[in-house]
Amino acid sequence: MRKFATVSYNLYGNFTNYGSALQTYALRRAISELAPSEVEAIVLDYCPDCLRENDPLNPAKRMWDADEESRRMVELTMPAIRENYAKFDRFYHEECNLSEGSYTSSNFDDSFAAEGLDGYVCGSDTIFCIREFDGFDDGYFANFPAMRNRSISYAASFGDVDWTVDESETLKERLANFKALGVREGGADFEWIRANVDVPVTRVLDPTLLLTGADYAPIVGEPQMDEPYVLLYSRRYNPAMEAYADRVAERLGCKVVDISLRATNAERGHVMRYDAGVEEFLALTKEARYVVTNSFHGLIFAAQMHTPFSVFSREQADTKISQLLAWLGLSNRAMVSGDEDVPLEMSFNDMESRLAELRESSLGYLRGGLRLLGAECL
């Protein structure tokens, strides 16, 4: 049995994140299902130094939006935040096959022997975004001695970063730690890596798309509403998006279920569900008449569940959203102002055909990368 640990941004965020939890779940499951009797994947319980001060039960002290209104919304949402955190904690411990130990920079190298590992898979999400994680984290860039030449990346993202000359040189050095590089976005960063790093580089799907929509059935919760609704899932406050969700709900003759920190939206008739755990989020997405979101993974799970959706522009997320929509042939679902002519009906046939090919090529990369780490059975 070959055993690999995934290393990503998940357990130690300042706020919980459905995308982080589900990409963690999906990548571990996809690896384990490549050869169930011969390959095992665990999720490494790893906290980077830059996240050690995060407190998801007191997120206001380290939140990005420092204005008083945003902080007031967090305070109003705290009961739901606490309930949501407890559900996420249970999900990680029950569904993600966490490592036996917990690791930081001080003991990371112990993980290789302590967990009986053959290698590491770094990804996915924005682990290569040095602005988000205060530089080049050694766990995310496979720079701990135990990881060098025993690691591949899968669907790692650089975010939207302008690199200095010195940072580009450091990046080349860090990427040389990997046996193979699977990155999530194309574009200038992808082409630069191919030209400057002597490691095979492949663009791959986000791991949440390695599974089909039907594959999530075991973790989809029970229906959450007994009447039709539009799901509004907001990762950052956008009044134009909220107004659009209200218009769609009025056209469809239903309520708005709202997963956001905008607690006062209850006053406009929204059913507030920041308390929803991962399974409830999936159920709310699956059962919705329509999804309005500015979340990358919000659009992914609407597409996976074949729920019609619109996705709004969002700072630091536009590149990944636009590139994924183009890959799936769904660029017409993008919105900025809310005044765009986006039909409420959708067909997912072409998307599923595209996804089948992209899924097979991405799984092919994963098989090949793990073979480089000693999983000859693949």
Q: Cα–Cα distance between 127 and 7 in angstroms, integer?
A: 9
Name the strand (E) or helix (H) holding 305. none
Residue 113 lies in a domain: yes
Number of domains in the chain: 2
Q: Please indicate, yes or no, whether residues 132 and 247 belong to a single structural domain of this protein.
A: no
Residue 154 lies in a domain: yes
Residue from 306, 293, 290 nearest 252 by CA: 290
Q: Please indicate, yes or no, whether residues 159 and 198 belong to a single structural domain of this protein.
A: yes
Q: Please indicate, yes or no, whether residues 26 and 81 belong to a single structural domain of this protein.
A: yes
Residue 351 lies in a domain: no
Q: Please indicate, yes or no, whether residues 43 and 122 belong to a single structural domain of this protein.
A: yes
Residue 136 lies in a domain: yes
Whether residue 310 has a cis bond before it, omega within 30° of 0: no
Q: Please indicate, yes or no, whether residues 177 and 265 belong to a single structural domain of this protein.
A: no
Q: Please indicate, yes or no, whether residues 146 and 276 belong to a single structural domain of this protein.
A: no
Structure tokens at 56: 């998801």
Query: What is the span of the domain harbouring residue 232?
Result: 215-346
CATH number at residue 292: 3.40.50.2000
Residue 377 lies in a domain: no
What is the DSSP secondary-structure string of 252-293? HT-EEEEESS-GGGGGGT-EE-TT--HHHHHHHHHH-SEEEE
HSE-CB for 236 with a 13 A CA cutoff? 15
Instruction: Please report where in the chains the tokens 């095992």 appear, as a residue.
Output: 40
Q: Cα–Cα distance between 278 and 33 in angstroms, integer?
A: 21
Which amino acid makes up residue 1?
Answer: M
Q: Please indicate, yes or no, whether residues 321 and 362 belong to a single structural domain of this protein.
A: no
- Cα 193 to its chain centre, rounded Å, is 22
Burial letters 259-283, b for 16+ CB under 10 A, else e = bbbbbebeeeebbbbbbbbbbbbbb
Going residue by residue through the chain (378 aa), what tens digit of pLDDT does each one get? 999 999 999 999 999 999 999 999 999 999 999 999 999 999 999 999 999 999 988 888 887 777 888 889 999 999 999 999 999 999 999 999 999 999 999 999 999 999 999 999 999 889 999 999 999 999 999 999 999 999 999 999 998 888 999 999 999 999 999 999 999 999 888 999 999 999 999 999 999 999 999 999 999 999 999 999 999 999 999 999 999 999 999 999 999 999 999 999 999 999 999 999 999 999 999 999 999 999 999 999 999 999 999 999 987 778 899 999 999 999 999 999 999 999 999 999 999 999 999 999 999 999 999 999 999 988
Residue 259 lies in a domain: yes
Rounded to the nearest 10 degrees, how much is the dihedral formed by the CA atoms of 21, 155, 283, 334? Answer: 130
Q: Please indicate, yes or no, whether residues 110 and 224 belong to a single structural domain of this protein.
A: no
